[in-house]
Chain A
Amino acid sequence: MTFLLRRALFYLVTLWAAITVNFLLPRLLPGDPVQAMIIKLGGRLNSDAMASLYVLFGLDEQKSIWEQYLDYWGALFQGDLGLSFTFFPTPVADVLSQSLPWTLGLVGVTTVIAFLLGTLMGVYAGWKRGSWMDNLIPLTTFLSSIPYFWLGLIAISLLSVTWPLFPASGGYAAGLVPEFSGEFIGSVLEHAVLPGVTIVVSSVAGWILGMRNMMVTVTAEDYVLVARAKGLTRKRIMFAYAARNAVLPSISGFALSLGFIVGGALLVEMVFSYPGLGYVLFQGIGAKDYPLMQGVFLVITLTVLVANLLADIGYLLLDPRTRREG
């Protein structure tokens, strides 16, 4: 328990540092966000509107950086992340809360699926070394070596252009209103197939390979030989003795990939014009939308920290050696 508390404290400090950097970075960069927006809107603003923009973004007064920092924290605690330029005048918090579920639902779920599927396949491949499962490895490795961008485009051109089986873009069919209905959910699932499958295909090989190799290492351990000598069932040996130990090194890798969900969503959602955080970030970068970018980076930071905390809990549950007494 004290171990978890210590980790949590560590993550809080990391969070503080990340938010501070997040605050400083755009202020150190050249360029004036309001100026960028004015140019974007191309003279359709009168001087009053421009002035109100400066007020809105807090760029009007000559505040010291320290005051700005305190204001920043105050706003953060109220969930106020400013207004987005790109989706002006929607608050950044609203943009994030609308797009985050899409990303978590697509990239998050498929990341977990890829991990579970790959690990399970790795368990079997490592247990039955030299079986047909081994032939799967070069294939999946080849698929994962294709840059994701290409894989996505190939999937679109084959499965939604040549054979129009699945929609190529968006999160649900145009014209539907997000609601809890069979039609809407069906459409969401249909739209998730191509991006979801490509994510799994491009990342499953790593899990298979890692788990297979660990299984091979672990099955040579004495305790697996003991388990066989004990006459335990094959299933019990394979999972409770071999896989339970072999999976331990994968946990931190899994946490890493969970933390990478939002960052990794950028590419996926660009290719499939998926209405998630990655696509929002893509648009935000193009428009020099500082508040939005800061908001997305904040979410990324949080997911990385949460993923690490989950990994700590995972190790605590799976590896008794990390549980220190006292």
Chain B
Amino acid sequence: MSPVLEIRDLSVDYGKLRAVHNVSLSLNKGEVLGLAGESGSGKSTLAYAATRLLQPPGHVPSGEVFFKGRDLLSLSEKELQVLRWNEISIVFQGAMNALNPVISVGTQIDDVLRTHRPRMKRPERTARARELLSLVGIPTDRLGAYPHQLSGGMRQRVMIAMALALEPEIVIMDEPTTALDVVVQRQILGQMMRLRETLGFSIVFITHDISLLVEFSDRIAIMYGGRVVEEAPASEIYRAAKHPYSQGLLSSFPALRGPRRELKGIPGSPPDLRSMPAGCPFHPRCPSAMDVCGERMPSLESVEERRRVACWLEDVRV
């Protein structure tokens, strides 16, 4: 399977602070890749940098991002504008604010069609917008509604409808449902996954709620302090996470099915970008830390087929 999106050795800085360190990840066609990690671990930064949406002072000092063989980071603004939303669309973190409050949702969907499909006539565009709304289960007469007239769940559905408007290859979902209640969250995610099956796009699903990830994604990458520390199929992560941080994350959420586990959580607080500890960045909080952990950084190594871990416990060289 050839990846639709391939991130190679990407680093991201905010001014002089490094927020993402040498991340390599790939997204296969039709796949749901989950990105997990505590707040501040660099999930959004990674996603925005890979899609060239990073705002100053954020910038990319090194790395490459390939979309179907084209390096996104070296595209011109013009080439990029054509590619945006056509190929990669995004459902944003905090969707409460992701819709323009002074323009009707219909016009916001229409904006996309008008820009990217200049040959579509107005009635066609309206028909398409209606079709999109019904796709996500919103009555088509809400086309003229303004965001403040819709519930949080409906706004999020509108965002999803908009994200699918041009039938993109990749949809990035950054905490798409954080502000919604659990029932609505699952409804929306379930719907998204069904749409993926019929339309065939790939998803990057970002959240710090690892139980949602386990339920909805195929593969999960766990980030800590701007690095990927473990990457494996979702079922493997759930069954037997190898990195002590992944184990900690999993144990901070109640199990979905099967035997209940003890909720332990992770002691301590996420690392500060300005003073990253030497060695393994997780060692001050790690229950299994060894001497080497405080001295040398473990690199992300394949430990099994389709599984990578950055931890000295897994490194055969130690």
Contacts and interface: CB of A to CB of B under 8 A. Distances in A.
Contacts of A248: 102
Tell me what chain A mostly uses at the interface: helix, strand, loop, or mixed: helix
Interface string A244-285: 110010000000000000000000000000000000000000
Contacts of A320: 101-102, 104, 146, 148
B83 A231 contact: yes
A222 B98 contact: yes
Contacts of A236: 111, 115
Contacts of B81: 231, 233
Contacts, number: 83
A230 B102 contact: no
A232 interface: yes
A221 to B, nearest CB: 6
B90 A226 contact: yes
A318 B102 contact: yes
Interface string A196-222: 000000000000000000000000111
A232 B92 contact: no
B281 to A, nearest CB: 28
A241 B84 CA distance: 17
A220 B56 CA distance: 11
Interface in B63-81: 80-81
Given A231-B82, A232-B111, A226 B101 contact: no
Contacts of A232: 111-112, 115
A244 B84 contact: no
A319 B147 CA distance: 12
B100 A241 contact: yes
Interface string A308-324: 00000000001111000
B97 interface: yes
B92 A226 contact: yes
A220 B57 CA distance: 12
B276 interface: no
Contacts of A321: 101-102, 146, 148
B205 interface: no
A266 to B, nearest CB: 37
A164 to B, nearest CB: 49
A203 B104 CA distance: 34
A240 interface: yes
Contacts of A231: 80-86, 112, 115-116
B102 to A, nearest CB: 5
A288 interface: no
Contacts of B95: 222
A223 B101 contact: yes
A227 interface: yes
B100 A228 contact: no
B97 A221 contact: yes
Given A227-B111, A320-B104, 10 more contacts: A222-B93, A223-B98, A225-B92, A227-B100, A228-B84, A241-B100, A244-B100, A244-B102, A245-B101, A320-B101
8 contacts: A223-B98, A226-B90, A230-B85, A230-B115, A230-B162, A231-B115, A245-B101, A320-B148
Interface of B: 51, 53, 55, 80-86, 89-90, 92-95, 97-104, 111-112, 115-116, 146, 148-149, 159, 162
Closest 10 CB pairs of A and B: A231-B84, A222-B97, A320-B146, A223-B100, A222-B98, A231-B81, A230-B85, A231-B85, A229-B90, A226-B98
